[in-house]
Amino acid sequence: MLKFRSLGILLMLFWFASCTEEDLGVTFVTTEEVLFASGDQVRLLGRVISDQDIQVQDHGFYLAEDEAFSNPQIISLGEKSGPGRFIGEISGLRLGTNYFAKAFLNLGGEVEFGNVISLSTLEPAFKSFSPSFGAPGEELIIEGRNFGEGTRVFFGDQEAEVLENTLQSRLLVRVPPPADNPSVPIRVLFQDREVSSAEPFEYQRGGYEIVARYPGEVRMYDNVFFQNDPNNLYIGLGSERRQVLISGFQKFDVISNTWSAASFPGTNRSFAFFTDHYLGGGVSQLGSNPFVYDGSFWAMENGGFKRLPDLPFLSRNAIAFEINGDLYVLGRNAQIVDFFFKFDKTSNTWEILPPAPVSFSRSDAAFSYGDKGYLINGGDGTLWSFDPSNNEWSTISTYPGALGIGRGMARVMGEKAFIGLFERTDEIWELDLNSFTWRKKNPMPGLPQSVLVAHFVSGPYLYIMRVPDINVPGAFSMDFYRFDPEGI
């Protein structure tokens, strides 16, 4: 509308001037429109109109909060040759405030003004943020509008570093360390205004504390671990640096945080299969070719060991899990043929089951939940379920973390499984056993190039021990960590 009015005025003046005997010349300025307005910035369009080639000494805009322009801010654009449009921009304005603007020009003496227009700066708004879950130090994007210069961002009460502010509508920030709450709103502050996220940001969780060290200067590999009750945790057998077999176990008392020796009446061995109630197989000599297999089979009850009939198969590196007290063992026999056996605890008998769809071994990870068994293939991360009622296998999901070179952890706590710590990785993921969705936990301290020694559940905690990979030189203690899945 302003454009048409300006053009009409110009034509009338040109017509009037052409009708006079003397060429008086016509020059004036108009305030055309607001090109852009944000929370603290506006961009204005003006125009110098003239019927002659003029030299403007200064031009621009006046901006004020009152129509009388009693205390104006001046946008001076300097000299200008000839008529035409011009654009002026000003920052540092107040949020959500009404302003008045008018263009001006100075031809060398008197300042002339154009028409007055009104405008308003805008309020900030918070639209969304991504990702909704993460760890300190990671980058996060906030989408919104009218985030002016000097915008600050807080995760709860923790201030974040603003890395970029793109077009006042997109903030790139670095997630700050958490305080006490793992679930916090994201607050954006600009001038005296605050806008916040409708949904909280969730910090990646998982707290670690060293509670003990394994007795002696030992680096244990290919061992066995089990627990008969929540307060007594057993670690043993296997070998010291794959050079000498380890005899017996060390028992850790969760209440007193102390270790005590526990003898084992059977043969020392490495690479045995085991659960919390059974132990069997493996090799009884190191470095032998061919392997010297051990076929003995043991039950663990009340901190003691009971020998059961020998195994109907020989194996090294088999993997085992329990469902409703029955034992299931998968692996390869001495002839490198896959097998799948079930041990019925009631009849003390073994049953050969139909083969699994893929080969499983100690390099994979296994757990049971409800009436099914679950195995994570250490090669491709596929999560398989096994239903013993019909011997049916199904693929459920895929482990999203790093698989290293296999031999990972899988432990159930309530309705969650904690999976990870595959050899030479430090990742742990939480698997919801109802929705089968994954959530990453904080990485485990220590050398990522480590091998899992043991893991247990006691109360609301996981107890985890690892040792540096056999190829890592040096003396390292075997630290026993207590892991709080909800810790920050």
- Rounded mean pLDDT of 247-270? 96
Q: How many other CB atoms are there within 10 angstroms of residue 52's CB atom?
A: 10
SS3 103: strand
Whether 69 has a pLDDT exceeding 90, the answer reads yes
Q: Can 2-120 and 125-203 be said to share one CATH topology?
A: yes
pLDDT of residue 450: 95
> What percent of the chain is predicted at pLDDT more than 70?
95
pLDDT of residue 20: 42
Please tell me the distance from the alpha carbon of residue 417 to that of residue 22, in angstroms, as a whole number: 95
**pLDDT tens by residue, 317-339:** 999 999 999 999 999 887 788 99
Residue 283 DSSP label: B
pLDDT of residue 40: 93
Ranges of each domain in the chain: 2-120, 125-203, 207-484
Tell me the CB-side half-sphere exposure of residue 34, using CA atoms within 13 A: 16
**pLDDT tens by residue, 265-302:** 999 999 999 999 999 999 999 987 889 999 999 999 88
Name the average pLDDT for the chain. Answer: 92
**pLDDT tens by residue, 14-57:** 444 444 434 447 899 999 999 999 999 999 999 999 988 899 99
Q: Which of 50-54, 250-254, 306-310, 415-419 has the lowest mean pLDDT?
A: 50-54
> What percent of the chain is predicted at pLDDT more than 90?
86
Q: What's the token pair of residue 77?
A: 């654009």
Please tell me the distance from the alpha carbon of residue 284 to that of residue 352, in angstroms, as a whole number: 25
pLDDT of residue 151: 96
Please give the C-alpha separations between residue 199 and each of 126, 169, 409, 425, 441, in angstroms, as whole numbers.
11, 19, 33, 32, 20
pLDDT of residue 1: 40
Please tell me the distance from the alpha carbon of residue 263 to that of residue 484, in angstroms, as a whole number: 31
**∠ Cα 5 10 14 (to 5°):** 150
Whether 467 has a pLDDT exceeding 80, the answer reads yes
Please tell me the distance from the alpha carbon of residue 296 to that of residue 307, in angstroms, as a whole number: 8
Q: Amino acid identity, residue 379?
A: G
pLDDT band at 458 (very low <50, low <70, confident <90, very high): very high
CATH topology of domain 2-120: Immunoglobulin-like (2.60.40)
Q: For residue 103, with 0-12 CB atoms within 10 Å meaning exposed, 13-18 middle and 19 or more buried, which class applies? A: buried
CATH topology of domain 207-484: Neuraminidase (2.120.10)
pLDDT of residue 287: 84
pLDDT of residue 15: 40
The sheet with strand 207-213 has its strands ordered as 207-213, 479-484, 461-468, 450-458
**∠ Cα 191 196 199 (to 5°):** 170
Whether 176 has a pLDDT exceeding 70, the answer reads yes
Whether 13 has a pLDDT exceeding 70, the answer reads no
pLDDT of residue 162: 98
pLDDT of residue 398: 97
Whether 10 has a pLDDT exceeding 50, the answer reads no
Residue 21 DSSP label: S
- Rounded mean pLDDT of 216-221? 92
**pLDDT tens by residue, 71-120:** 999 999 999 999 999 999 999 999 999 999 999 999 887 899 999 999 99
CATH superfamily to which 125-203 belongs: Immunoglobulins (2.60.40.10)
Q: For residue 418, with 0-12 CB atoms within 10 Å meaning exposed, 13-18 middle and 19 or more buried, which class applies? A: buried
